[in-house]
Structure 1
Amino acid sequence: MAEPHQSKTFPVKPKLKPKPRTSKQTPESKYWSSFKTQQIPNLISVPSLTFSPSPPYSFAAAHSASISIYSSQTLSVSSTISSFSDVVSCASFRNDGRLIAASEISGLVQVFDLKSRTPLRRLRSHTRPVRFVQYPVLDKLHLISGGDDALVKYWDVAGETTLLDLQGHKDYVRCGDCSPVNMEMFVTGSYDHTVKLWDVRVTNTNSVMEVNHGKPVEDVIFLPSGGLIATAGGNSVKIWDMIGGGKLVFSMESHNKTVTSICVGRIGKDSGEESKQYRILSVGLDGYMKVFDYAKLKVTHSMRFPAPLLSVGFSPDCSTRVIGTSNGILFAGKRKIKENVENESNDFLALGSVEAPERRVLKPSYFRYFRRGQGDKPSEGDYLVMRPKKMKLAEHDKLLKRFRHREALVSVLGSKNPENVVAVMEELIARKKLLKCVSNLDVEELELLLMFLHKYSTIPRFSSLLMGLTKRVLEMRADDIRTSDALKGHIRNLKRSVEEEIRIQHSLQEIQVCFPGDEYESKFCS
């Protein structure tokens, strides 16, 4: 005699329920998500963000006719420079962090002392708005600037004079960056779609190399090696090999709108060692920040912000990430670094760094190996014997385990959970007991079943099972339905729901016929 069917796993689960998509978070996504974002409001459009290259790595935000200096530790304003007659477009720290240069829409470039906030130099030569200014990485005496007059200027800051007027761009010069390995070389990007490489040691005013981005260039940066540059314009970020003669390495087109700013970020290590894993951070008018691994040529992280993004900056110690928006809000992300806390505690005790004693490796021959507690973590090669977890079953699962089929169906109908009801029905079908349960229901229990069928039989996820069951219920319990007004009312409601669903399906079919995929067929429907 064959044993009745019983499900091997409890609780029962519906087979018609779609499995949710579970995306595993990668270690790199966890790293970038560990920056706890804080909003700094009450600013006006922030077109420029720059970090000081020297500790404690303060950052400057250009907004309206002022520059605010923020502490990267507390994310609070430490000072504000307001000695401007027009909107500030860009700012750049000197490599020692003591001076900051700023450009204005009026065409003026000023150099300020951060402590006194007084202007030390006023550089006047541009006839149109200046869009970018930058100190060379290894140079304290010169500045690079470019503006809407299509000129790039190389300044002697001490003498307030222009050493070179570099001509070659045919449209607004909007961005630039200096080489991290050579203080005489820099690049500039323009709305004429080109990026030019300049060398101030060359006596003429022509660029030594040129690449065409294909769109107006919004930003350009040198990558840490000094031989690659990244350009941003349109919805793409492109990487170029300047040592290889300006060869295009890769084009990343992950943004939906214009990319406005890019910078280089480095993945920090909590162990205190310097990480060489560099990334390109890009922001755009679509509100997205993208992290691009240019070694593997793929986007490794993406984050959405509720406003168009104009600027991005990343601190040299990998602890702070700042994003400027068009509505005047700074999204500053701060990440805790464990080694700082440990170093501070060691300095406070004045005992230096004390190495933890090495713990002997456990071996099966040791007595301590057999006296390990439950909290001891297993080694990589250990074989784990897991105790099965005791599962708490619902009432209908308990009834199914005892083969009380009708009681299980009635119990789950009263729970008002459609997934559980469908799961129990599928289990009863597998045991070939569903129709027998339906035939044994009394009037009140049959009313519960009809209410459930009226509510869920037209839902596409359940309709393949429930519509067939509805037909069989009407055939089997026709006599009971005729003698009960309550059951007749449920049948009328069920009929209206089915007719409405049929009407909707006919309408969708008419739309599908009038709008076919083939463009030639669509002409005959017009």
Structure 2
Amino acid sequence: MPPKNDPELIALRKELEELYNTLKEEQKKVADTSLEKICEDVSDVPRVKINTKKLMKGHLNKVNSVHYSGDSRHCVTGSLDGKLIIWDTYSGNKMQIIPLRSAWVMSVAYATSGNFVACGGMDNMCTVYDLNNRDTSGVAKMVRELAGYDGFLSSCRFLDDKHIITGSGDMKLCQWDLETGRKLCDVIAHNGDVVSISLGPDGSNMFVTGSVDKTSRLWDVRDLKQPKQTFFGHEADVNSVCFHPSGNAFATGSEDKSARMFDIRADQQIALFKPPTPNSAFTCCALSLSGRVLMCGSDDHSVHMWDTLKNQHNGTLSGHENRITSISVAPNGIAIATCSWDQNVRVWG
């Protein structure tokens, strides 16, 4: 890699910055309105009182990731205590505890079918467990170790029971065949660590990624050679992305203390969300089933909520005692699960 003061590199960076500014100017020309402006006549969203329905304790260290199963009842969490826990969110009981070979778990995923969970992190691999098959000790059987990354595994999502997509700290996006363990696709996806993946709604072949390169990108699983669109706007790492239920937009949460909404058809940002006192970064984001409410977990120990159409900050969910690391909305829309460095998992409804 050439040194930072290399004249050619400096010239290329300058050219890239100029291209980026030209793009922004062109986008401004066609941005005839904003989401907030066009929804002025829409009535305010009813105030919904959301409380902690279940406080689930069991992890002995920071909990870094949570993800719901397709049944909207079970969720999986991964913690630095080296355990995955499968929870019944209705009762708050632990259904399975899966010990990991590496404690440095950063991301977990639950297959929609409820048959498999996956995790990965600083061990530079994605490990898949079959929840319906147990080994002699009664623990879910490990069925795949997907190795071949030059950086940590930051995110993973099941496309179905046979395929998974992973993002990693080596800037790559990979698609895997779980039956053979073969890598189907391996592409440099961003100019920095890929940190978040969100799949489009059922029937959609699209998904979106967020990166420390300050951009988010739209992809089609049928053709992963290059992104379909790249979205600019954030001024720091894009820590989290979340597809809108309509399939036409997505939300982002960033280190720059803002959340944003991007419209795929308009190819640009249509809304900017900031809390009343923007004093900490957003680590994760999620949208309600209707897409009307945006929720962002923050370093300030709370979940901030906005009415996406009116751009109104509708309060916070408080209860966690440390940084919130991950948020997952139940597919049926009736509950939200959050996890935190306070070692706890909360189910809100």
* TM-score under structure 1 length normalisation: 0.53
Alignment partner, residue 62 of structure 1: 78
Preserved contact between residue 72 and residue 320 of structure 1 (Cα < 8 Å): no
Shift of 1:298: 1.7
What secondary structure is seen at the aligned counterpart in 1 of 2:50? Answer: helix
Shift of 1:193: 0.7
Shift of 1:328: 1.2
Shift of 1:200: 3.4
Alignment partner, residue 122 of structure 1: 145
Alignment of 1:145-224 (within 5 A): 145-202=166-223, 205-212=225-232, 213-224=234-245
Shift of 1:83: 3.4
Give the number of aligned pairs: 294
Alignment partner, residue 72 of structure 1: 89
Answering whether residue 283 of structure 2 is matched by residue 260 of structure 1, we say: yes
Structure 2's unaligned 5+ residue stretches are 1-43, 135-139
Alignment partner, residue 281 of structure 1: 295
Cα 1:79–1:250, aligned 2, differ >3 Å: closer, same or farther?
same
1:409-446 deviation line (CA, Å, top 9, x unaligned): xxxxxxxxxxxxxxxxxxxxxxxxxxxxxxxxxxxxxx
CA RMSD of aligned residues (A): 2.1
Cα 1:323–1:151, aligned 2, differ >3 Å: closer, same or farther?
same
Preserved contact between residue 29 and residue 301 of structure 1 (Cα < 8 Å): no
- Alpha-carbon separation, structure 1, partners of 2:266 and 2:120: 33
Preserved contact between residue 106 and residue 129 of structure 1 (Cα < 8 Å): yes
Alignment of 1:107-506 (within 5 A): 107-115=124-132, 116=134, 117-136=140-159, 139-202=160-223, 205-212=225-232, 213-234=234-255, 235-245=257-267, 247-254=268-275, 255-266=278-289, 276=290, 278-305=292-319, 306-333=321-348, 335=349
The percent identity for this pair of structures is: 20
What secondary structure is seen at the aligned counterpart in 1 of 2:170? Answer: coil
- Alpha-carbon separation, structure 2, partners of 1:315 and 1:109: 23
In structure 2, what residue type is equivalent to 1:58? H
Larger helix share, 1 or 2: 1
Preserved contact between residue 28 and residue 300 of structure 1 (Cα < 8 Å): no
Answering whether residue 126 of structure 2 is matched by residue 106 of structure 1, we say: no
- Alpha-carbon separation, structure 2, partners of 1:331 and 1:184: 31
- Alpha-carbon separation, structure 1, partners of 2:85 and 2:286: 20
In structure 2, what residue type is equivalent to 1:321? I
Shift of 1:29: 3.9
Alignment partner, residue 43 of structure 1: 60
Structure 1's unaligned 5+ residue stretches are 1-25, 267-275, 336-526
In structure 1, what residue type is equivalent to 2:335? T
- Alpha-carbon separation, structure 2, partners of 1:151 and 1:144: 11
Preserved contact between residue 175 and residue 220 of structure 1 (Cα < 8 Å): yes
Cα 1:227–1:78, aligned 2, differ >3 Å: closer, same or farther?
same
Cα 1:316–1:181, aligned 2, differ >3 Å: closer, same or farther?
closer
What secondary structure is seen at the aligned counterpart in 2 of 1:118? Answer: strand
1:174-206 deviation line (CA, Å, top 9, x unaligned): 111111145532211111111111223337x22
Q: Which deviates more, 35-44 or 212-221? A: 35-44
Cα 1:231–1:95, aligned 2, differ >3 Å: closer, same or farther?
same
Structure with bigger RCO (C-alpha 8 Å, 6+ apart): 2
Shift of 1:27: 8.5
